[in-house]
Amino acid sequence: MGSGFSRIPDIWQPMKKSDVCAAARRKPAASKLTRARAEADILEALHRTLSDKEIDRVLARGLDVLDDAGRTRLFAGLGKDTRAVLRAVLERDSKLRAAHPARPGKEKVRQEWEALRSEWDDCIAESGLEDGKYVCQDEDWEPPYLDTGGVCDDLEQIAHGMRDVLDRVWDEGLDPDFSFARAIEEAAEAIGAGLDVADVVEPPHFGRESTACLLEWEWRSARRDGLAAFEFLDKIRGLERSLDEATIEQDAIATFVAALGADDQRHIVRGLGEHHGHEQWADVLRDARSGWFRIHQRLAKKWDSNLFAKTCRDNIAQDFTLALPLIAECLRKKAYADALPLIEKAVRAMLRLDASPAWDPRSGLLIRHPALAHRGDPEDALFRLLEAWEKVAAALGDEDVACALALQVIVGRKRDDWDAVLSAFRRASKPCEALFADWRAEAAERSVGVFTTMLWPADPNWVHALVDAARADDAGAFSARTSTWLREIERSGGETLGRRRALATLALDVDGADHLRKNCPTFHRLLSRERSGLRNVDAVRRRWIARLGGFDLFPEVVAFWTRHARTLVPDPKDAHGSNYDQSAEWMAAMLELDAETYETVLRVWSVEHKRRRNLWRALATRRLPGLPVSR
């Protein structure tokens, strides 16, 4: 051979044994790399040529037709977590599949969690965009504002999804550096940051789901770090204080604490007692309406009855319901004299009487007291207080007060059940006329919708007559007094419009055969709009009207409306913005009620309002007769 072959290239040199072993070790890695590249090429080709639906079908059918050997080869190339999930999904035995349902794999949970965290961040970022969906402007001339409630509502939806996977994320260490407390702090600071809007309507409030996520995540973190239950809550309270005006959901905290074990709850009670005067806790534990105070009370009631009684007694002036458990204990012990001061203190707190004379239950209905006038339906605690007071008064021999309190409870709870109330007044051992007069006024106001005050009582109307007749069970009295009331209205000089609500309600109530709906539908519809009382009282009144023969008043009431039909129609000169719909609608009603008066009004209008084109268009739209052709 020539000199050209004197040196054999390295690639053809015999390999040492150690080199052969190293190459063998490198081969699987190269194989994995090749397989990953091949899989990526297949996926790229599938996404380029098939729809997502077709790819899903190919995947499902491909896995379904694999035999055991094929599945074994497939599983061998997968990670442990993926292999376990896929084996459960492909399990052929239906009973085993039902007993051991497929559980989302670790990577699936990680993917969902990261997506939810991204949604959380995107939502907060959106709140800082001037053209984002959370910046609102009700009218063009009004300044824009940030809809903070909308931001927090969307965060609540995201937090709901986070709670579904939070256990897995923590237990499997999928996001070890995450802190929900830090996420809440950052969100409170970042919501609306950088916006140049005129007004932020309200500070952020992180609702039940967001607060639950915070508690569940940070509780795990606290246990990992060796913190006890009170120290954990102390951190939550510190976070709450750091949020400036932003808030977290107190009810969610209460629910979380209620689910803790007995030892943890006892530890919290002791910690709150020891830190009661500390700056971080003083305000919220002295405020009987704060969520932290309620949490403290629930735990104290469960684990320290003396502490519970003391905090109740000390805070009755803030919340009258705190007296109820103390009064109940006095009743259990038959310590009636001890209950009276508690009852008086509770009533003073409820009615905000301060140094005023004590409230006398015989003087008038509690539900009509000015201090309760704007609270809506009375809370049940109010009646439980009165029931306890009745027992105390009866035990101490104060029959007048006990009788009045029994009526207070029945009327307060069943004020719209006339049968029950009237029966209670008939059975009462004392007359209690002041209470009856109050209920009579209440029944009239709830029927007609004219609500009054003690300084400005309503004028008596026909409902007062109905209540008196029902109490006396006197059929003739109702008809006679109602007729008198109608005549007094006519004599008063055209105040029909001022009493329109009461008159409309009377006309509809005494129409036992539904004549107005059938024969005067427009008039009936307009009267129904005028009626503004509570609907649940309508059936009660009509039953008593039927029982007392009140349907016989219908012709007289219709005649009254007919005589005053002209006063019902709104004058076109008072129309707002050339909108004459109300005038036209009442003209249609008057045509049904009294055609002659309709024609008289139309003639007057054709002279006084001949240039109001929109008026005549509104009348023509309702196809009313007798309109001038030129209109």
Which tens digit of pLDDT belongs to each residue from 50-62?
Answer: 788 887 787 877 7
Q: Are residues 471 and 369 in the same domain?
A: no
Residue 578 shares a structural domain with residue 525 = no
Q: Out of 350, 380, 413, pick the residue that ends a domain.
A: 413
Residue 372 counted as domain residue: yes
Indicate the residue among 538, 563, 588 that finishes a domain.
563
Out of 563, 592, 614, a domain closes at 563
Domain that holds residue 461: 431-563
Assess whether pLDDT exceeds 60 at residue 20.
no
DSSP 458: P
Percent of the chain residues past pLDDT 90, beyond the cut:
66
Query: Does residue 255 form part of some domain?
Result: no
Predicted local confidence at residue 6, as pLDDT: 38
Around 114, how many Cα atoms within 13 Å sit in the side-chain half-sphere? 9
- 559 and 446 assigned to the same domain: yes
Q: Which of 244, 137, 153, 248 is nearest to 199 (CA)?
A: 137
Q: For 464-478, write each residue's pLDDT tens digit.
A: 999 999 999 998 999
Q: Is residue 95 located within the same domain as residue 41?
A: yes
Higher-pLDDT residue of 354, 310: 310
Whether residue 339 lies inside any domain: the answer is yes
- Classify burial at 344, counting beta carbons within 10 Å of its beta carbon; exposed 0-12, middle 13-18, buried 19 or more: middle
Helix ranges restricted to H, 66-197: 68-76, 80-89, 94-99, 106-126, 148-171, 180-190
CA distance 200 to 197: 7
Claim to verify: residue 614 and residue 555 sit in the same structural domain: no
Q: Look at residue 497 in the predicted model and tell me its pLDDT.
A: 55
Q: How many residues does the chain have?
A: 631
Q: Which residues contact 425 (CB under 8 A, 6 or more apart)?
A: 407, 432, 435, 436, 471
Q: Note whether 554 and 454 are same-domain residues.
A: yes
Q: Is the four-CA dihedral 586, 589, 593, 595 of positive or negative sign? A: positive
Q: How far apart are CA 118 and CA 121, in angstroms?
A: 5
Residue pair 109/174 in contact (Cβ under 8 Å)? The answer is yes
Q: Give a yes or no: residue 521 inside a domain.
A: yes
Cα four-point dihedral sign 77, 81, 87, 89 = negative
Instruction: Please give the biggest Cα pair distance in the chain.
Output: 145
378 belongs to a structural domain: yes
Q: Is the pLDDT of residue 368 over 70?
A: yes
pLDDT of residue 5: 36
Residue 248 in 3-state DSSP?
Answer: strand
Of the candidates 283, 258, 285, the one whose C-alpha atom is nearest the C-alpha of residue 272 is: 285
How many Cβ atoms sit within 10 Å of the Cβ of residue 235? 15
Same domain, 590 and 539: no
Check whether residue 437 and residue 395 sit in a common domain: no
Number of domains in the chain: 4
Please check the confidence at residue 110 and state whether its pLDDT lies above 80.
yes
Per-residue pLDDT of 216-266, as tens digits, reads: 999 999 999 999 999 999 999 999 999 988 999 999 999 999 999 999 999
Q: What's the pLDDT tens digit per position in 157-189?
A: 999 999 999 999 999 999 999 999 999 999 999
Report residue 135: phi and psi, to 5°.
-95, 120
Residues 448, 522, single domain; the answer is yes
Examine the domain organization and report whether 577 and 552 are in the same domain: no
DSSP state of 11: G
The pLDDT of residue 593 is 92
pLDDT tens for 284-309 read 999 999 999 999 999 999 999 999 99
Amino acid 1: pLDDT: 40
Q: 550-563 b/e with 16+ CB inside 10 Å = b?
A: beebbeebbebbee
Burial class (CB in 10 A: 0-12, 13-18, 19+), 287: middle
pLDDT at 492: 78
Among 65-69, 208-212, 398-402, the minimum mean pLDDT is found in 65-69
Rounded distance between C-alpha atoms, residue 406 and residue 387, angstroms: 7
The Cα–Cα gap between 100 and 560 comes to 79
99, 91 Cβ separation under 8 angstroms: no
**Are 442 and 553 within one domain?**
yes
Is pLDDT of 113 > 90? Answer: yes
Does residue 471 lie within any of the structural domains? yes
In a domain? residue 488: yes
Distance CA 178, CA 195 (A): 27
- State the average pLDDT for the chain: 87
Q: Categorize the per-residue pLDDT at 498 as very low, low, confident or very high, splitting at 50, 70 and 90.
A: low
Q: Is residue 398 part of a domain?
A: yes
Collapse the DSSP code of 145 into the 3-class scheme (helix H, G, I; strand E, B; otherwise coil) and give the result: strand
Cβ density class 133-156: b for 16+ within 10 Å, e for less: ebbeeeeeeeeebbbbeebbebbb
Q: How far apart are CA 551 and CA 528, in angstroms?
A: 18
Separation of alpha carbons 131 and 135, rounded Å: 7
Report the run of H or E that residue 402 belongs to, with start and end.
helix 399-413
Buried b (16+ CB within 10 A) or exposed e, 423-448: ebbeebeeebeebbebbbbbbbbbbb
Q: Assess whether 596 and 487 both reside in one domain.
A: no
The reported pLDDT for the residue numbered 58 is 77
Amino acid at site 115: A
Lowest mean pLDDT among 85-94, 485-494, 500-509: 85-94
Q: What is the 3-state secondary structure (H, E, C) of 557-607?
A: HHHHHHHCHHHHCCCHHHCCCCCCHHHHHHHHHHHHHCHHHHHHHHHHHHH
Instruction: Give the range with max mean pLDDT: 15-19, 74-78, 209-213.
Output: 209-213
pLDDT value, residue 258? 97
Burial of 542 (0-12, 13-18, 19+ CB in 10 A): middle
